[in-house]
Structure 1
Amino acid sequence: MTPHRETRAQSASASQTADTVPLGVLPEWDLSDLYSGMDSPAFRDDLTQSAAAAKIFADTYRGNLSALAAGPDAAVALDHAISQYEALDDKLGRIMSYASLLYAGDTSDTGRAKFFGDAQEQVTTISSDLLFFTLELNRIDDDVLGDAASLPPLDRYRPWLDDLRREKPYQLEDRVEQLFHEKSVTGRAAWVRLFDETMTALRFSVDGESLPLEKTLNLFQDTRRDRRRAAAEALGKTLKENERTLALITNTLAKDRDIGDQWRGFADVADARHLANRVEGQVVDALLQAVQSAYPRLSHRYYRLKARWFGVGQLDYWDRNAPLPDSPNWTASWGEARATILEAYDAFSPKLAGIAQTFFDKGWIDAPLRPGKAPGAFSHPTVPSAHPYILVNYQGRPRDVMILAHELGHGVHQVLAGPNGALMAPTPLTLAETASVFGEMLTFRSLREKTADPRARFALLAAKVEDMLNTVVRQIAFYSFERKLHQERRSGELTAERIGDLWMSVQTESLGPAIRLGPGYETFWSYVPHFIHSPFYVYAYAFGDCLVNSLYGVYEKTPAGFAERYLAMLSAGGSKTYTELLAPFGLDAHDPGFWSIGLDLIAGMIDELEALDRSA
């Protein structure tokens, strides 16, 4: 799921906004491939059957895995057990995918909220009977399990078992793990739900209009400066009025994470995320340092240029993502967006485009804004026995086209990885953003090649630079903010004012002196959903963008055979490490110079803008 990024897009003119230009018929997803409705007999049966199957599974295998591993047919016996576990995981994943997607469609609907909450409780209870399985597998002697995993048919699960082994040093005693698991419903999950429902319910008064979060944020790309300012002030005012609740949610979840980290023995606040991402902390630290060192030649330099284009010494924060003065304005209908993306995907790989087209043809996308609908955008993988679903809030802006291209990249990746099965299809975040950012890059390059008007090409290039700054610089600033917040939280609760101070410090550092951060901006940390849903997720965007820049460089130099290698990388899902997957492209994220490749590409685009600006 991608966070809302305050990225710039060319706006329609003041008299022809995205609200008034016909967008065509926007699709709403059809969830019947999962279940027919909340009263579906199949849904009830799956819950009942899963509960019974989980108890039988526990009765069969609890306390017996070590003996199976030491037996004469260990590979066959363990493969049979893991296959049953995987089937249950897929069924429970289907149940929760349906409940969460239905809820995302309208989080204000009390019936859907109850349905989601009930499903979450029941699945948590059922999965408690399965919790022992991975814990016991990790108590098997390394040599014994390794010998069994080297033989068929168990060798197909070797990557999953290797991944599982990485969790071993941080596992707790079974009953403690079960307590953590069962308490999550009334702990972390409940606070996340409170955040979601709070943000969905908020309304922001902009020039007499009462707007939800998504429409308010979208006004930051309006052509009218007074409209952008009104949106910013409304956002700051309403967030300020709710900051005590939002600060309490943030403090509680940070402390909850700290308790878990302390029990498991994680030293650094982000170590659990690094483990989940299967990436070394040193690699992330190198990325952090490389991006922070590049602030002056990237974001600081670009925003100085943009301030000059606006004829001012400093840009107010509500103008940071504003359309460039006198830039051509256009709004893309849904049909135009679809054609643009599929054409760009097809030029790279017809197979890629064919999978993307399936999302349009089969009702796997939910596009229109609706009251209560979750803000932002995401591609939910659901389970390998089904297919992904995409949620966007499409308003016709060029940036909306890029967001759709981004989420379709996720969706294609998830489809390709599906055959690996429920245990090995999921991709660590270090690679999960690769296909999405690559999809954006393909769409941008295609649009640029087809744009003849010099002003439009200039605006398109500037928009891409801003997107990349928002993906790399801004997300690393978000990561730095999270680190500061979680580190301080270990010493006690933080006031909303203190959280705002931390936020302002990293924003000032990353955006530079050409951006004026006025009153109200200190509250903007409180609407970013990834701080709540997935702490420390955000560095994956910078990781993915720099990685894609490097991949695209390889593609431009040696296009022959690249698409096949790229699709093979996506098809691997979580069955290989990012190091293994990058090797066929000659890339190594452990190389100190790796991150500079991606950062240099952004700097080169800014150089091009400067050159075009001087020649105008």
Structure 2
Amino acid sequence: MNKPLKQTWDLETVFPGGSQSPELTAFLNSLEKEVKELRGMVQTAIVPTDLKEAETLEDILFSLESCWAKASEASAFIGCLAAQDINDKKAIQLSGRITSLFADLQSVAAQFDNLLREVDDTLWNEWITTAKVEPHKFILNESRDLAREKMSPELESLALELAIDGYHGWGEFYDTIVSKIQIPFEENGKTEMLSAGQASNKLHNPSREIRQEMFEKWENAWTEAEDYCADTLNHLAGFRLKLYGNRGWDDVLKEPLTINRMSRKTLDTMWAVIQDTKPVLVEYLNRKAKLLGLETLSWTDVEAPIRTSVSKVTYDEAAETIVEQFRKFSPKLAEFSEMAFDKSWIEVEDRPGKRPGGFCTSFQESDQTRIFMTYSGTASNVSTLAHELGHAYHQYVMKGLPVLNQNYAMNVAETASTFAEMIVADALVKSAKTEDEKLALLEEKIQNSVAFFMNIHARFLFETRFYTQRKEGLLSADEISSLMEEAQKEAYCGALSTYHPHFWASKLHFYITGVPFYNFPYTFGYMFSTGLYVRALQEGSAFADKYDALLRDTGIMTVEELAKKHLNVDLTQRDFWQSAADMCIADIQQFLQMTDHLA
């Protein structure tokens, strides 16, 4: 890799000129024209009665696929602009434009799906097995089946249009709220105003005094913004509930489960295994409290390192470590990651004005990806970097597949990312040179289990209950905070002394309009990737190719089908999930054994 590495990404290779890019403007103008022409094709199309007439459906299909790829390209670029500078007003305007364009495209897709659902079953089965169409068989069947469970195309189109300034508008308003969050922080005798992203990093500082001070300011800042956040969350949920009601959907989990291509039985089985595992996690939390000299852990202590002398890891050191550990599992994964670093596909600079959090986004037209985060040298930052590179690699191995077949769901997307984290974490624990180093690294690995088994579970419990109460009317900020704290107490089995009532306000994931219930897929990904890692340990280097093959199928199978084909397991049963939980339990037992004399 080139040294030193650039800490800002290069967006110029996609559209030069940022939000003022003439190329981007021309691209959007051309795309809007294509979508308009596509709409005309769909509106004049008739339900085919033979294979010859079905050729019109093929023309629409491939045009739709082209438009999706281009819209995704523009959306990814604009999303990067908005994330790197929350004060980029032009990027905010462009976000509205691309949201409108996507709504148009979704409306056209809904009309196309209506054509598909009207096709005679005999002709349908004949058409989807033709050479040109067969690669899209899964996606077409999925779209046709779902269309039969929705409102009429006219009403679905109307809902999509109204969502631009309603549903999605509220989601974008949350970004405005976040951009106004400014939190004072004094360091080295100088007070500076931190953005939400910078302040969030301070919550993970090794110093308990700094964490506690920042957490108090953090809660105060979100308390001041709580009414705006409550309005936003209420209206997002209200829109969804009204839409679901008109579709005849009673279960608020129907849409997220459909999007994630998994059954309720699989979800329930996964949570049941996790619930049975929690007593061991509570034992870990209690031991950690003793190691930190505390009676009980507070919210900000959960992710705190057990040693206050944890050294900073430079960005270059993190990149070198990640690539080295990736190479031990898969040279292909390591080479891809080196390329991402060298081509400046990664934005990590710690500066004001950036959006909080991290993400990976793909550019399907130009076969590139970009990773966004704020790197401050913590062990958590190293994990996030490995996590996002896992996302990027997932997209990379799908290169060459039909665009629509690359649209994998969030739960399997989180599989690749958490698997990448696990490669790095497990390898570092095994190669630790001292007991202290091994203990610190092992504890960092266990933190993932706590996050996915407890923190994410709290989010799931909160959101499920929030939607249940929202059916009865608007909730006040105090009522929402109470729901949040209750969910946290239950998910953490009452093991903490304090909780984070305004977590619902500070967490972006509750306000993302593209994916409802942006929580349980994380835990699925963690558990699924842990199960995969168990297999990797059993099968050795031969598993790397099997892993790539599994990733390539993630866009064209349910998770149950995926697991059956590549692992020969049944996800509706406990066995696979238990194998993953057992690995997490083994880490905790090792930690307890290593710290027994210290406690």
Per-residue Cα deviation, 1:180-206 (whole angstroms, up to 9, x for no partner): 111121011111111112112201233
Please give the alpha-carbon distance, in whole angstroms, between the structure 2 residues aligned to 1:25 and 1:418: 26
Per-residue Cα deviation, 1:496-547 (whole angstroms, up to 9, x for no partner): 11111111111112223431016xx322221111111133121011111111
Pairwise CA distance, 1:77: 4.5
Question: Which residue is 2:9 aligned to?
Answer: 29
Question: Which residue is 2:179 aligned to?
Answer: 200
Question: Which residue is 1:54 aligned to?
Answer: 35
Contact 2:69–2:403 (8 Å) recurs in 1: yes
Question: Which residue is 1:64 aligned to?
Answer: 45
Please give the alpha-carbon distance, in whole angstroms, between the structure 2 residues aligned to 1:251 and 1:60: 38
Contact 1:365–1:391 (8 Å) recurs in 2: yes
Please give the alpha-carbon distance, in whole angstroms, between the structure 2 residues aligned to 1:57 and 1:190: 25
Comparing 33-42 and 468-477, the one that deviates more: 33-42
Output aligned runs, 1:209-358, within 5 Å.
209-298=192-281, 300-325=282-307, 328-358=309-339
Contact 2:51–2:123 (8 Å) recurs in 1: no
1:607 aligns with 2:589: yes
Residue from 508, 511, 525 that aligns with 2:504: 525
Question: Which residue is 1:466 aligned to?
Answer: 447
Pairwise CA distance, 1:443: 0.6
Please give the alpha-carbon distance, in whole angstroms, between the structure 1 residues aligned to 2:366 and 2:288: 48
SS of 1:66 mapped into structure 2: coil
Letter of the 1:49 partner, please give it: S
1:516 aligns with 2:460: no
1:587 aligns with 2:575: no
Per-residue Cα deviation, 1:111-144 (whole angstroms, up to 9, x for no partner): 3222322343355446645542222222223332
Please give the alpha-carbon distance, in whole angstroms, between the structure 2 residues aligned to 1:124 and 1:506: 34
Output aligned runs, 1:485-500, within 5 Å.
485-500=466-481
Please give the alpha-carbon distance, in whole angstroms, between the structure 2 residues aligned to 1:384 and 1:571: 18
Comparing 412-421 and 283-292, the one that deviates more: 283-292
SS of 2:437 mapped into structure 1: helix
Contact 1:204–1:210 (8 Å) recurs in 2: yes
TM-score by length of 2: 0.93
SS of 2:574 mapped into structure 1: coil
Output aligned runs, 1:362-401, within 5 Å.
362-401=343-382
Pairwise CA distance, 1:145: 1.4
Letter of the 2:8 partner, please give it: E
Comparing 586-595 and 483-492, the one that deviates more: 586-595
1:154 aligns with 2:136: no
Please give the alpha-carbon distance, in whole angstroms, between the structure 2 residues aligned to 1:65 and 1:373: 49
Please give the alpha-carbon distance, in whole angstroms, between the structure 2 residues aligned to 1:615 and 1:588: 41
SS of 1:388 mapped into structure 2: strand
Pairwise CA distance, 1:343: 0.8
Pairwise CA distance, 1:566: 0.3
Pairwise CA distance, 1:575: 2.0
Pairwise CA distance, 1:24: 5.9
Unpaired runs of 5+ residues, structure 2, are: none
1:85 aligns with 2:67: no
SS of 1:210 mapped into structure 2: strand
Output aligned runs, 1:93-108, within 5 Å.
93-108=72-87
Question: Which residue is 1:18 aligned to?
Answer: none
Pairwise CA distance, 1:50: 2.5
Question: Which residue is 1:7 aligned to?
Answer: none
Question: Which residue is 2:532 aligned to?
Answer: 551
Letter of the 2:167 partner, please give it: R
Contact 2:6–2:344 (8 Å) recurs in 1: no
Please give the alpha-carbon distance, in whole angstroms, between the structure 2 residues aligned to 1:305 and 1:127: 51
Output aligned runs, 1:444-463, within 5 Å.
444-463=425-444
Question: Which residue is 1:12 aligned to?
Answer: none
Question: Which residue is 1:569 aligned to?
Answer: 550
Please give the alpha-carbon distance, in whole angstroms, between the structure 1 residues aligned to 2:250 and 2:74: 35
Residue from 155, 167, 181 that aligns with 1:188: 167
Pairwise CA distance, 1:54: 2.8
Pairwise CA distance, 1:382: 3.1
Higher RCO (C-alpha 8 Å, min separation 6)? 1
Please give the alpha-carbon distance, in whole angstroms, between the structure 1 residues aligned to 2:113 and 2:435: 58
Letter of the 2:236 partner, please give it: L
Per-residue Cα deviation, 1:16-38 (whole angstroms, up to 9, x for no partner): xxxxxxx9654222223321233
Please give the alpha-carbon distance, in whole angstroms, between the structure 2 residues aligned to 1:36 and 1:26: 18
Pairwise CA distance, 1:152: 1.2
Residue from 113, 119, 141 that aligns with 1:140: 119
Pairwise CA distance, 1:377: 0.4
Contact 1:324–1:459 (8 Å) recurs in 2: yes
Contact 1:76–1:153 (8 Å) recurs in 2: no
Contact 2:203–2:214 (8 Å) recurs in 1: yes
Per-residue Cα deviation, 1:324-352 (whole angstroms, up to 9, x for no partner): 145x5221111111111111111111111
Please give the alpha-carbon distance, in whole angstroms, between the structure 2 residues aligned to 1:80 and 1:126: 16
Contact 1:29–1:363 (8 Å) recurs in 2: yes
Pairwise CA distance, 1:606: 1.0
1:436 aligns with 2:423: no
Comparing 283-292 and 125-134, the one that deviates more: 125-134
Go from structure 1 to structure 2 and tell me whether the alpha carbon gap of 1:271 and 1:193 turns closer, same or farther (over 3 Å shift). same
SS of 2:203 mapped into structure 1: helix
Per-residue Cα deviation, 1:144-171 (whole angstroms, up to 9, x for no partner): 2122101212111112112213312322
Following TM superposition, the consecutive aligned residue runs of length 4 or more in structure 1 with deviations greater than 4 angstroms are 23-26, 74-77, 125-131
Go from structure 1 to structure 2 and tell me whether the alpha carbon gap of 1:46 and 1:212 turns closer, same or farther (over 3 Å shift). closer
SS of 1:531 mapped into structure 2: helix
Please give the alpha-carbon distance, in whole angstroms, between the structure 2 residues aligned to 1:323 and 1:161: 49
Output aligned runs, 1:394-409, within 5 Å.
394-409=375-390
Contact 2:298–2:496 (8 Å) recurs in 1: yes
Contact 1:236–1:523 (8 Å) recurs in 2: yes
Comparing 587-596 and 120-129, the one that deviates more: 120-129
Go from structure 1 to structure 2 and tell me whether the alpha carbon gap of 1:606 and 1:130 turns closer, same or farther (over 3 Å shift). closer
Pairwise CA distance, 1:63: 4.6
Q: CA RMSD in A?
A: 2.1
Please give the alpha-carbon distance, in whole angstroms, between the structure 2 residues aligned to 1:229 and 1:285: 36
Go from structure 1 to structure 2 and tell me whether the alpha carbon gap of 1:56 and 1:232 turns closer, same or farther (over 3 Å shift). closer
SS of 2:184 mapped into structure 1: strand
Please give the alpha-carbon distance, in whole angstroms, between the structure 1 residues aligned to 2:56 and 2:107: 23
Residue from 463, 466, 481 that aligns with 1:482: 463
Please give the alpha-carbon distance, in whole angstroms, between the structure 2 residues aligned to 1:200 and 1:25: 28
1:421 aligns with 2:390: no
Go from structure 1 to structure 2 and tell me whether the alpha carbon gap of 1:605 and 1:435 turns closer, same or farther (over 3 Å shift). same
TM-score by length of 1: 0.91
Contact 1:433–1:540 (8 Å) recurs in 2: yes
Please give the alpha-carbon distance, in whole angstroms, between the structure 2 residues aligned to 1:448 and 1:590: 32
Per-residue Cα deviation, 1:257-308 (whole angstroms, up to 9, x for no partner): 101111112221111110111111221122223323332222x211111111
Please give the alpha-carbon distance, in whole angstroms, between the structure 2 residues aligned to 1:176 and 1:77: 24
